Structure 1
Amino acid sequence: MSGISSRGNGGKKILNKNQLLKRDRIRNARSIRAEAVAASSKSGAPRDLSESGGKLNVDQFIGSRQFEVKQLQLAMHNSKGASSTRIFQSLPRKLRRRTASHNVRRIPKRMRNRALREMRKSDQHEVCKNSSTAARKTHGLNAKQLYRARMSVKLLRLASKSTSMKLSMPPEITSSKCHVRQKIKTLGRMIKESSKANHNMRLLNNCMGSHDTTGINELAAIPKGRMKYTKRQKHFTWLPTHIWNAKRSHMLKRWGYQLAWAPTQKCFKLTHRLGGNTCSSDGALCMDSSHIGTIIIKDNSNDVTGDFLKFIVGKLTGGRANLKKYREGQVLFQGLVYSFSENSSKPLGPCDLFWVQKDVVILRLHPSIFTQIFNILLQHTEKLTVQDCRYSLASVTLKGAKALESLASCLRSTDHCKSFEQFKIISMMTDYNALPQRCTFAFEAIDPRHLAAPKRLNDPQRKLLNFDDILSLQENYPHDEINVVLNKLCDPESRNQSYNNQSTLKGISARRSKLLTTPPNYINKTTVPYKEHEDPSIPLVIIRRPKTSDWIVILPWFWLLPLWHQLNRIPRMYHIGLRQFQQIQYENKQLYFPDDYPFTQSGYLENSLYKREASKLKWSKKPMGKRVNFEKIKDIHNTKLPAYNGEIGDFFSSDWRFLQILRNGVDYLQRKDKNLKLMDSKKTGQFNSQGVREISCVNDVLEFCKDYEAKTKTISSPVEEEVPITICKASKCQTLTPKNTDYNCFSFHLTFYPRCTIAVSCILLERGHPKDNARIYQVPEEHLKHWLQLAKGVYRSNGRKNHDLDIPLPEVHDLIGFITSGTYHLNSGNGMGIGFIDHHSATQQSNRYVLVRNVGTNIYRLARWSEISA
């Protein structure tokens, strides 16, 4: 019948009753009503146009079209929910997960009754009932399982020794075939581990298993999690929020941790709005930054002034962190940390340093350089006490206009504290640029789970923030109160004491339920009251980082998860990962470690090894017709040299070794004002008596690059390479350069002397955007007039800008740098890249124009560079 009916309807499918109703509902929702007669045509009505007819009266036009505008808004609203037939389809995007399609407790309470009706209708009520009442699997062996395991061991031993039992069994069943010994060993190991776990639990001061794991003058042992996840945490440690983040983020295994790389939902524009300019920010971003290792250094040389600690800190930071505002004013220092074991000018990476007292320092380091710095400090343990607090102190980083307000909604002080009172006042602010550099709050907080839900502070004496409140942060700084809390935070015994009587969620819920049944003598029954001698107190510190304009909260390791759960229940609070933190650094024209630190060993390996291999693997997986053939790209440079075909340098990374050899070779060829020769047509290459290539033109320099690359590939056991570039400021350069010009073996000096570079941000003046590893060229003097005219704009006869112009191509020796991070900048509305250019070439230019070319293309874009600080 269906086939006959379809022929009678021209092959169209016949819709049933429900499909017809759904189609009519969508059509009615999308239909927009309009007035039959325009309002402007009525007599006496104001005219939409002026008397001359050349201008539109906007207010009168909107008034006359008010009915149509309302109908348009109503149609848009109805159309949005017309096709949503189930409650899960009308949830916000962050709640739409397949795991929530059968669990009523994963949706807001106001929608649960409708969800239950829909699930009963679709025969899913039993699934929901079973999922909500299913018993959770407990960790380890309970009493019944432990008894059965011990009895199994006894029976197995009896069966292996008793002759009567052996004879009663079938002949094919023997102890060797059943692996009785192995089973006894396995059961014995399970019994031993369960007994040890129960014994250790008795030694703890809480029922949650929280304890302090600190290494004093030694590296701390990796914490052991639940037995269920032992294999997963064998080589990569889980952060406190790992399970929460693993359900909502893409995870990354690096530096001994499993880190959140990026949320599963798209958040590039969201990160720009909330984490960027405060004018557009109406929320906050949070990230678990516990992977940043913490070292507490204490001077135990019986010197109150802490001169030896001051000497060590000065060596680590190049003397910058010993300034008075850092050492006495308790301002957080953000800068480079150096390896002073060999040379103080060798940077390792960024650090955060905070002076607690003159003899105590908190040092926060990236995990890639943590062990190296810790081993350097261990050489001075006769005068220093070094604590490895990687697994005993956790931290969360917050960014955005509502960062402090969100924190204030989750934290409550145990007693009256001046620092907490200042924190409550400043939490009303949204623009943190008005705050002083020293902006630190430290107090003892109650368990965040005592609050049934995050709640804003309803202070009856709360008033609008004025300028005097900001000045009071500097003038009435509670130095003694903050030092008391910081000393507790730096003491392992005090941190372990903070876990005393740490309650479970079940215990807190029981106290809250009991509170609801008591007489109404307590006003706020949703908040469990704090009992001073029974409930634990959490020492924590909130520090503002001036350079990155964000906040860090440092607290004991096992107290981070309760705070994290409360933070992420706040509206307009979103979690981010390392990728979003890198985006914020990029938009603020700041370097991100380790991607934008090629002048350090960790940054150089990140670029030349890890990212290079990932890019090459992605390129090799593409079919031949879909991937770029870098060796066949034409018209890249003005002159084609025999040494290279197509793209120069490494195709999948920023080839800093190539830049070092090229710039050193060009400087050598231009010594004593000699003319630079690109190639010698009489010869392709020449070697001296020692078998070393002679350098007489640019082509010889490129040939030497190929020789060096082939030589490094043949080394079976690669050693740690020296970083080919260093960083300095544009005003001065501290790098040593060869002064002699008479060399028997100049090829040694091409790779021996590192090139001095400066960190820059390149903003494109036209269309397009740079990508990672893009090449940066200097503008040749003979082409400067053309590019300056292009910067002003070349327009067509119709008034539009002409982008299809023939541009002059630079030479290969005009390469001066690379882009390490490049994409489209949402704030400025054009492409921008962060990279490094050669210092010598940058100082010789009269202007700040450069040419940027992406890898694998022959299109050059004009850009203007500006120096940024490391």
Structure 2
Amino acid sequence: MSGIKKNHGNNGGKKQLNQNQIFRRQKVRNARTIRTEAIHTSNKSKNEQNKSLSEDGSIIQVDQFIGSREFELRQLQYAMLKSKSSSSTRVFQALPRKLRRRTASHNVKRIPKRMRNRALKEMLKNDQQSNVSSKNASTTNKKTHGLSSSRLYRAKMSVKLLRLASKSMSMKLALPSHITASKYNVRQRIKYLKKLIKESKNTKQPTTSDVNSGRLNNKCGSYDNTGINKLAPIPRGRIKYCKRQRQFSWLPTHIWNAKRSHLIKRWGFNIPWSPSQKCFKLAHRLGSGVAASDGALCMDTSFMGTMIINNISENKSLLKQIVSRLTKGRASLSKYFGSKNLYEGLIYDIEGEESKILGPSNILWVDENEIILRLHPTIYSTIFTYLTKTFSKELSIQDCRYSLASIAIRGAKALTALSSILRSTSNSKSFESFKRVCNVSDYNVLPSKLMFAMEVIDPRHLSAPKKIDNKNPVNVEDIISISEDQSLNGEFSKVLKKLTTVEGRKQSYNNQQTLKQLSKRRQELLESKTIYEPSSQKRIIPFNDSSDPSVPLFLTRRPKENDWLLIIPWFWHLPIWYQLNRVPRVYNMGLRQVQQLKYENKQLYFPDDYPFTEIGVLENSPYKSNSLRAKWEKKTAGKRLNFEKIPNIHSNNLPAISGEIGDYFSCDWKFLQLVQNGIEYLKQQHGGNVPLIDEKKTTQFDNKHHSRMVNNFNDLLELYKYITDDSNGPSVESQLPTTPISLANGKAVLKLKTEQFVNTVDITKKPLPVTAVSCYLVRRGHPKDNARVYSIPEKDIPYWSSVSQGIYKANGTLNNHCDIPLPNIINLIGFVTSGTFNLADGNGRCNGFIASKHLHNNNSFARSHVLIRNSGTNIYRLAKIETISV
């Protein structure tokens, strides 16, 4: 006991450290120790030093002072570097966050070359001999399978099924009585299949070109998957992943993105949703404003459907008439049809009597008889089916969803990054124009109609991306000449001919080489070159016009999207993508970043911000609402928000509803339609007044129309509960609850006519005119998706007007906790479709839709301001609105 007490007395009751812990602590302590030097070590005399460094009125000599403290400054920098790496005990822990992977701790090939020697020493120290193999050992242990991929997969599955059939009692009973394991020699069959699988590793696998010799012209297995007047089949990848691609097809970059991004299964594709690392600030800094950007963001947009339509009839104006009907006459204007500008606008469904908005589209006129049409996958099949059924003999339609891939890239370094990996096969005017503007970072100085069509070499010929040496900087004359040379004649039509035809795309795959073949050519090139030539020239494989393939590509600027669109053949997408992401300051993004950038630029994102389309309604109600509801229901009752018991939401409480209004987890446009149409109906019935409730009567039914009678606002809420109740049966809505009305500069282009509501059926059927707005919060807070938008009551206008100017305390600071007047439920005019904190403004901002009649308010302040309340809260924020063109 005395020994224990003595031990406690020495260390003060603290836990003793072992030798390893003492070493690590001393290592960190030494790294953070900064050595200093006395000032009198200088060669100057003390009087001169005191004179140059005195603080009583004399001037400090900066150069002499820094010279005397040079030792301390160097030691400070050294200590900062040592302290940064002192806690990193292994190589992969010292890597940047972007390069860190779990496999980097045991695979030396996942570590940069400059750190591999240190990593090999660490692996040898830890006896990880299996992962540190020599070059000769790796060449002798190559995995070559004798069976083809499908036969190997079938053999492995047969082994599993035979084992299951011999062990599962239910399967034994399901088989006929005369079939037994001993009679059919199940053990011998399993043994034979396992031997076949094992022996197949020592034989050579037949190449893909041998299997499909009539279909392929290369060893990479690239082919053109195009459907002529029919939908193309879903491409199948490796047999290993065939079960995962039955319902959802994979993009060319799926495996690359699966390691770096979160993927979602939507619209028949596995699409990148957002990078695994935090990137909200990065996306804003690189993608929102070109002036503040110092990099680029790229995304695989191959999920966007592309079709090529050719007019094969004698009527040369047929295609122009069809495009005019699909776009309400916009894409057939001279600036698109004649000048060959890229059309970015809405497309309509012309199959029914009333043309409905389907969604956004991109249309490019190749010539008067051919166009390239790009659509969102949700509306692609609708347009394709209509055109093939209606114009099967007049049009030739190519389904290029799986034969043309695309990349969207934005940011100040977008053209610079592309120029680092693209090299022309021959002298090309388009490529020379591209070289002149590749270093331009501000796209506002470039013409809006700017496109390039050229043939480039395989980007894998470059061992690493390298910038083009452009000695002559671009000037105004070059930009003017580039804009004047833009035409789809000559070289443009030649390249687009290869890109828009099956033969041209197949020809681009001719003799497409594998990585091993390119590596062999590069090694021969290195051995043949002299030692005096630059290493950069040694690593570029020269282009052989007779054997090497040329890649046709089309690059165009999209002014509305504020990005660049690169269209290439499907199987050339991955080589370009790998090289593009090796360029410094180029990052990948997903759908979440596209939505963020559109929100910051006051633009609508499809389909979330399109509630006036069928796809937008489906995205909002079933998909987003059900997912948020399921997440809410997973929580226990004590930890989830009770929406029905939120107090003090409105100034008046009605018995028909308590707590939150409408659907808690979505923008309830049906509820808004009933509220706004019901208010107009009640005003017509009661001479301009809106009675809230009649305490003497309950809700009555109209036997003629088989619906509830609406005599006051409380009856409207009862009608909504009756319509949305699942027990009453599913309600089939033939019309959308809202219809858009575009406004310009705050003035309505189309005057709103006063709707006449005869009965309650008209309330639920007539769509509500809405207008897209961008709301900027005047004070604190930030709105969220599905927030409620209210108009300001007339009696509360003086208070909110003073809030906009600022309510201050006695000490001069803003008062953010004063009591606010609550609006009524009849003041609900809209919903927020997308909102969060805007880094560009440094304040909360949101996009949404409000009833168009609100913009015709007589009071200017009430017309330009609204109140926003997040779902599930009772806090209102004042916001200023700006209209957005649809």
TM-score normalised by structure 2 residue count: 0.88
Change (3 A) 1:532 1:32: same
Specify the alignment match of 1:749 in structure 2. 762
Secondary structure, counterpart of 2:560 in structure 1: coil
Specify the alignment match of 1:167 in structure 2. none
- In structure 1, give the amino acid aligned to 2:26: D
In the alignment, does 2:381 pair up with 1:371? yes
In the alignment, does 2:873 pair up with 1:857? yes
Summarize the alignment of residues 542-581 of structure 1 with structure 2, pairs less than 5 Å apart: 542-581=555-594
Indicate the percent of aligned positions where both proteins have the same amino acid.
Answer: 50
Contact 1:6–1:12 (CA<8 Å) still a contact in 2?
no
Specify the alignment match of 2:690 in structure 1. 676
CA deviation map 1:234-253 (0-9, x unaligned): 11101111111111111111
Secondary structure, counterpart of 1:834 in structure 2: strand
Contact 2:53–2:60 (CA<8 Å) still a contact in 1?
no
Equivalent position to 1:103, from 100, 103, 107: 107
Specify the alignment match of 2:448 in structure 1. 437
Shift of residue 729 of structure 1? Answer: 1.3
Summarize the alignment of residues 134-149 of structure 1 with structure 2, pairs less than 5 Å apart: 137=143, 141=147
Shift of residue 171 of structure 1? Answer: 10
Specify the alignment match of 1:635 in structure 2. 648
Specify the alignment match of 1:398 in structure 2. 409
- In structure 2, give the amino acid aligned to 1:229: Y
Shift of residue 59 of structure 1? Answer: 8.9
Equivalent position to 2:419, from 390, 408, 421: 408
Change (3 A) 1:362 1:804: same
In the alignment, does 2:374 pair up with 1:361? no
The more displaced of 19-28 and 609-618 is: 19-28
Equivalent position to 2:243, from 231, 243, 248: 231
CA deviation map 1:766-792 (0-9, x unaligned): 111111100000111111111111011
CA deviation map 1:276-313 (0-9, x unaligned): 2122211111111000010111111234xx41111111
Secondary structure, counterpart of 2:346 in structure 1: strand
CA deviation map 1:289-340 (0-9, x unaligned): 000010111111234xx41111111111111111211112221111111001
Specify the alignment match of 1:87 in structure 2. 91
Aligned length: 833
Equivalent position to 1:452, from 435, 442, 463: 463
In the alignment, does 2:722 pair up with 1:707? yes
Specify the alignment match of 2:707 in structure 1. 692
Secondary structure, counterpart of 1:501 in structure 2: coil
Specify the alignment match of 1:784 in structure 2. 797
- In structure 2, give the amino acid aligned to 1:109: K
Change (3 A) 1:812 1:328: same
Contact 1:235–1:256 (CA<8 Å) still a contact in 2?
yes
Shift of residue 692 of structure 1? Answer: 3.0
CA deviation map 1:803-858 (0-9, x unaligned): 01110000001001001111111111111111111101222252311000000000
Contact 2:208–2:219 (CA<8 Å) still a contact in 1?
no
Equivalent position to 1:797, from 795, 810, 813: 810
Contact 2:209–2:216 (CA<8 Å) still a contact in 1?
no
Shift of residue 683 of structure 1? Answer: 2.3
Shift of residue 93 of structure 1? Answer: 0.8
In the alignment, does 2:735 pair up with 1:722? yes
Specify the alignment match of 1:221 in structure 2. 233
Contact 1:40–1:48 (CA<8 Å) still a contact in 2?
no
Contact 2:327–2:348 (CA<8 Å) still a contact in 1?
yes
Distance in 2, matches of 1:267 and 1:40, equals: 57
Contact 1:738–1:753 (CA<8 Å) still a contact in 2?
no
Specify the alignment match of 1:260 in structure 2. 272
In the alignment, does 2:318 pair up with 1:302? no
Specify the alignment match of 2:506 in structure 1. 496
Secondary structure, counterpart of 2:557 in structure 1: strand
Distance in 2, matches of 1:827 and 1:590, equals: 14
In the alignment, does 2:592 pair up with 1:591? no
Secondary structure, counterpart of 1:649 in structure 2: coil
Specify the alignment match of 1:269 in structure 2. 281
Secondary structure, counterpart of 1:322 in structure 2: coil
Contact 1:140–1:227 (CA<8 Å) still a contact in 2?
no
Specify the alignment match of 2:784 in structure 1. 771
Contact 1:48–1:60 (CA<8 Å) still a contact in 2?
no
In the alignment, does 2:479 pair up with 1:466? no
Shift of residue 570 of structure 1? Answer: 0.8
Distance in 1, matches of 2:483 and 2:346, equals: 27
Change (3 A) 1:432 1:343: farther
Structure 1 unpaired stretches of 5+: 157-169
Change (3 A) 1:141 1:198: farther
Summarize the alignment of residues 107-256 of structure 1 with structure 2, pairs less than 5 Å apart: 107-129=111-133, 133=138, 137=143, 141=147, 173-175=182-184, 198-201=210-213, 203-256=215-268
Specify the alignment match of 1:841 in structure 2. 854
Change (3 A) 1:797 1:218: same
Change (3 A) 1:452 1:49: farther
CA deviation map 1:568-588 (0-9, x unaligned): 111111111111111111111
In the alignment, does 2:546 pair up with 1:533? yes
Change (3 A) 1:297 1:793: same
Change (3 A) 1:747 1:81: same
Shift of residue 5 of structure 1? Answer: 8.1
Shift of residue 428 of structure 1? Answer: 0.8
Shift of residue 715 of structure 1? Answer: 2.6
Secondary structure, counterpart of 2:372 in structure 1: strand
Summarize the alignment of residues 302-381 of structure 1 with structure 2, pairs less than 5 Å apart: 302-303=314-315, 306-343=316-353, 345-378=355-388, 379-381=390-392
Secondary structure, counterpart of 2:795 in structure 1: helix
The more displaced of 478-487 and 234-243 is: 478-487
Contact 1:46–1:60 (CA<8 Å) still a contact in 2?
no
Distance in 2, matches of 1:674 and 1:634, equals: 30
In the alignment, does 2:421 pair up with 1:420? no
Specify the alignment match of 2:25 in structure 1. 23
Distance in 1, matches of 2:703 and 2:318, equals: 55
Contact 1:6–1:14 (CA<8 Å) still a contact in 2?
no
Shift of residue 85 of structure 1? Answer: 2.0
Distance in 2, matches of 1:782 and 1:115, equals: 73
Change (3 A) 1:465 1:62: farther
- In structure 1, give the amino acid aligned to 2:361: C
Change (3 A) 1:386 1:764: same
Secondary structure, counterpart of 1:362 in structure 2: strand
Summarize the alignment of residues 20-59 of structure 1 with structure 2, pairs less than 5 Å apart: 20-31=22-33, 43-45=50-52
Equivalent position to 1:480, from 471, 479, 490: 490
Shift of residue 40 of structure 1? Answer: 14
Shift of residue 407 of structure 1? Answer: 0.5
Specify the alignment match of 1:160 in structure 2. none
Distance in 1, matches of 2:208 and 2:81, equals: 61
Distance in 1, matches of 2:7 and 2:654, equals: 70
Change (3 A) 1:6 1:581: farther
CA deviation map 1:67-109 (0-9, x unaligned): 7877665544332222112211111111111111111111111
Aligned-residue RMSD, C-alpha: 3.5
TM-score normalised by structure 1 residue count: 0.89
Contact 2:208–2:220 (CA<8 Å) still a contact in 1?
no
Equivalent position to 1:732, from 748, 758, 770: 748
Distance in 1, matches of 2:680 and 2:150, equals: 80
- In structure 1, give the amino acid aligned to 2:721: K
